[in-house]
Each structure stands twice: as C-alpha cells, then as structure tokens.
C-alpha cells in the first residue's frame, strides 16, 4: 500500500512539472421564468468551472476540473469535483481512472459523471469496453439519481445542509458495471453500439436493474435513420419484472439547416412489466421536462443557421402515458423556440421560450398551460 501511494504521488508531481498542459475557465449562467396560471417562479443558477489537463508523454493525460454552483431559492454556494482522473493509451488499449463521463447507447438510461475505471480495446472488430463505477461520492444534483420516491425527495426537496453534509450532499449509493461494443461502420454502412449495463443498490432501496441496450444508425446521403431499444430486468423486494424501451428516428441535414423526427417509448407498470427504470434522471422536452419512464414521446425538431453568428431552433413534442390503470393516456403537447447567438467562438447566448398545453390531451385537459422562458449564457475565458 505504501508503494502504491508513493508511486501515485511521484506520478502526480512528475506530471505537474511538465510544460505540456491546458488550462481553461468556463462560466455557465442560466435564468428561468415559469408560469402556470397565476403561479410564477424565477430560478437563477450558474456554475464556474476551472479545468486543467497535464499531458505526459504522447499517450497519457492527468485532468482536473471543479465547479462552484450558485443558485437562488434559497441562495447557496455548492462546490463539487467534476471530471478528474488519469487516462493513457498503449497500442490498442485505452485506460481511464477517476471521475469520468459515461453514457449508454440510447443516452438516457445512465448518462453523466461516475467514479470508477474503464478499459477499452480498439480492434478491427470494433471498440470493446468494460467499466465499473460508484455513485455515492457524487453531488446529488450532478448524479441526478431518482430511482425511488425517497431518492426523488432527497434530490428535489431536501436542501444541502453543511451541518449534515454527509446525508444531504451525496448521491444514492449504487454500483454500475457495463460491457460495451461499438463499430463505426459495420458492413461499411451501420453505426452500431451494444451494451450490457447493470446497477446494484448499495443502500436500503433493494432496487437492482440490468439492461441489454442497442442502437443502430444508418446514414444515407443527407438522411440518417436511427433504431434503438432496450430490454431490462428489474428486481424489487425479491420480485423480478421486465421492462422495455424503444426509439426510432429520422434525420435530415442540409447545408445550413436540419430536421429530425424522433419517437421514444418506455414501458409502464403492468401485470407483466415494470415502469422502465432510469438510473439517471434525464428529462425530455423543453417545457414540461418529464422523465422518460412509463411515457412515450414524439418530437419534431428543426434548426437553421440564419447568419454566421445566429441560429434558430424550433421543437414540438407530444407525450402519452403507458401502463395499466390509465383510461386517459394523452398527456398533451408542447412547443418551444430557441434563438442562439455566438458573436465569437468563446461566447454562446441562448434565448428560449415555449409552452406545454394539456388541453391537447385528455388526462388533464382543463388545467392551465405551462409557460417557460429561459436565458442561458456560456463564456469560455481560456
């Protein structure tokens, strides 16, 4: 153990003495105004992210980044450690250790930062990867794990309390393991990715889940077709249920504009199925922003570049509820528009506005519309 600590210390010191490094500072500001009937809310939040990367040799890197989060309601300052770790390449082998990004092929079952290690082999038959991660040391808002009611309450209702830091800062304790394979041009045509992913509860919820996930993209000129899906097993209180997810997409890209049509489905609670469990809560849409669990979504998105520094985007989405016990399943639709301005490469400003209309469905057709206006600014100083 002493030798291992000494070796790691010498490696870090050695890397810090090298002149090959990259330093950056990112500022992300976001303001949001929402209204439902006479009820309004204003949210302001931001994060300041310094980062530095040391390069050693031609194949290794040591990266460090942190964040200072601040927000209103209530005003608070919350620190966190972001992408930090060591990576190096030797021949066809890539190794990463630390706090790193991972995403499943569909992008919404498990996506974000995780603590652990990953090894990849880049072969003629594709890229094979195996990794294992732990979530219990992450900031809960960054991990965004809400697989149970208690976890949702801890993430959205319980504020950070520095006098009870251990119980109010960290994410739920879960272990993830994944075996991934991807091929950039299977049969010189198909962009293919497959994954075996499992999460195992290390706390008290006794909720475990495993997934077989696949996605294929077929580019044909200006068009592309996406087909993906997942079969899952869910263990709760000694019982095992199955869950499903599916995705179908069509995209078109012109010289200065693009159009995409996407349909997504996840199973809901039933006699033989479970609501599809998301490890990380990745919301869908721009206004309502629901979790894609027990829902279907159909969306049409359009983006065009008006000028060298201006782009305009428009999105429309419709949501339905899946599972037993629902006589009415049409939740409603939303419309959202965004204007992007990037006067220089280091600054991006985004103004968006839209509304969710429950009157377009039959679940709560008499409820007030939900309006959202957002202003986001990202500045990269280095």
The per-residue pLDDT for range 204-258, each reduced to its tens digit, is 888 999 999 999 999 998 999 999 999 999 998 888 999 999 999 999 999 999 9
Distance from the first to the final alpha carbon of the chain: 39
Confidence of residue 334 (pLDDT cuts 50, 70, 90): very high
The per-residue pLDDT for range 272-311, each reduced to its tens digit, is 899 999 999 988 999 999 999 999 999 999 999 999 999 9
CB neighbours of residue 346 within 10 Å: 12
**Residue 246 domain flag:** yes
Question: What is the pLDDT, as a whole number, of residue 182?
Answer: 95
Structure tokens at 175: 């272990």
**Residue 297 domain flag:** no
**Residue 82 domain flag:** no
**Residue 358 domain flag:** no
Is pLDDT of 7 > 70? Answer: no
Structure tokens at 241: 């249920």
Is pLDDT of 10 > 90? Answer: no
Confidence of residue 111 (pLDDT cuts 50, 70, 90): very high
Under 8 Å between Cβ of 171 and 146: no
**Residue 296 domain flag:** no
| CATH number (domain holding residue 157) | 2.40.160.10
**Residue 302 domain flag:** no
The per-residue pLDDT for range 257-274, each reduced to its tens digit, is 999 999 999 999 987 899
Sign of CA dihedral 38, 300, 290, 47: negative
Sign of CA dihedral 230, 135, 184, 65: positive
Per DSSP, 275 falls in state P
**Residue 160 domain flag:** yes
The residue ranking higher by pLDDT, 306 or 327, is: 306
Question: What is the pLDDT, as a whole number, of residue 213?
Answer: 98
Q: Using CA atoms, how far apart are residues 94 and 264, in angstroms rounded to an integer? A: 33
Identify how many contiguous H helices and E strands the chain contains and give both numbers: 4, 19
Is pLDDT of 9 > 50? Answer: no
Question: What is the pLDDT, as a whole number, of residue 16?
Answer: 44
Average pLDDT, the chain: 92
The per-residue pLDDT for range 160-217, each reduced to its tens digit, is 999 999 999 999 999 999 999 999 887 778 899 999 999 999 988 889 999 999 999 9
Per the structure, the count of domains in the chain is: 1
Q: H-helix or E-strand containing 42? A: strand 39-56
State how far Cα 354 lies from the chain centre.
Answer: 22
**Residue 340 domain flag:** no
Instruction: Tell me the residue range of the domain where 192 lies.
Output: 91-282
């Amino acid at each position: 153990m002493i030798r291992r600590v000494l070796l790691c210390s010498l490696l870090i010191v050695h890397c810090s003495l090298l002149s090959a490094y990259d330093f950056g500072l990112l500022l992300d500001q976001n303001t949001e105004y929402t209204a439902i009937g006479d009820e309004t809310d204003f949210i302001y939040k931001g994060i300041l992210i310094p980062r530095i990367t040391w390069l050693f040799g031609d194949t290794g890197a040591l990266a460090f980044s942190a964040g200072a989060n601040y927000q209103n309601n209530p005003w608070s300052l919350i620190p966190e450690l972001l992408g930090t770790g060591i990576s190096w390449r030797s021949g066809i082998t890539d190794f990463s250790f630390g706090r790193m990004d991972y995403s499943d092929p569909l992008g919404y079952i498990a996506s974000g930062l995780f603590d652990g290690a990953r090894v990849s082999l880049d072969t003629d038959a594709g890229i094979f990867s195996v990794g294992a991660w732990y979530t219990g040391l992450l900031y809960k808002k960054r991990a965004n794990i809400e697989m149970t009611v208690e976890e949702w309450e801890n993430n959205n209702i319980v504020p950070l309390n520095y006098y009870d830091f251990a119980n109010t800062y960290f994410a739920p304790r879960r272990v993830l393991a994944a075996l991934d394979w991807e091929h950039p041009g299977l049969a010189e045509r198909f962009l293919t990715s497959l994954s075996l992913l499992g999460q195992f509860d290390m706390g008290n919820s006794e909720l475990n889940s495993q997934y077989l996930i696949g996605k294929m993209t077929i580019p044909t000129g200006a068009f592309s077709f996406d087909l993906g899906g997942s079969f899952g097993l869910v263990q709760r209180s000694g019982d095992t249920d199955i869950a499903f997810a599916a995705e179908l997409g069509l995209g078109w890209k012109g010289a200065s504009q693009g159009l995409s049509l996407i349909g997504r489905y996840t199973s809901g609670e039933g006699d033989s199925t479970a609501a599809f469990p998301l490890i990380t809560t990745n919301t869908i849409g721009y206004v309502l922003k629901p979790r894609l669990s027990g829902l279907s979504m159909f969306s049409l998105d359009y983006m065009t570049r008006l000028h060298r520094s201006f782009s305009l985007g428009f999105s429309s989405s419709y949501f339905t509820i899946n599972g037993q016990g629902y006589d009415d399943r049409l939740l409603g639709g939303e419309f959202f528009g965004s204007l992007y301005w990037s006067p220089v490469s280091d600054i991006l400003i985004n103004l968006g506005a839209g509304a969710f209309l429950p009157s377009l469905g039959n679940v709560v057709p008499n409820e007030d519309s939900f309006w959202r206006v957002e202003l986001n600014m990202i500045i990269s100083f280095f």
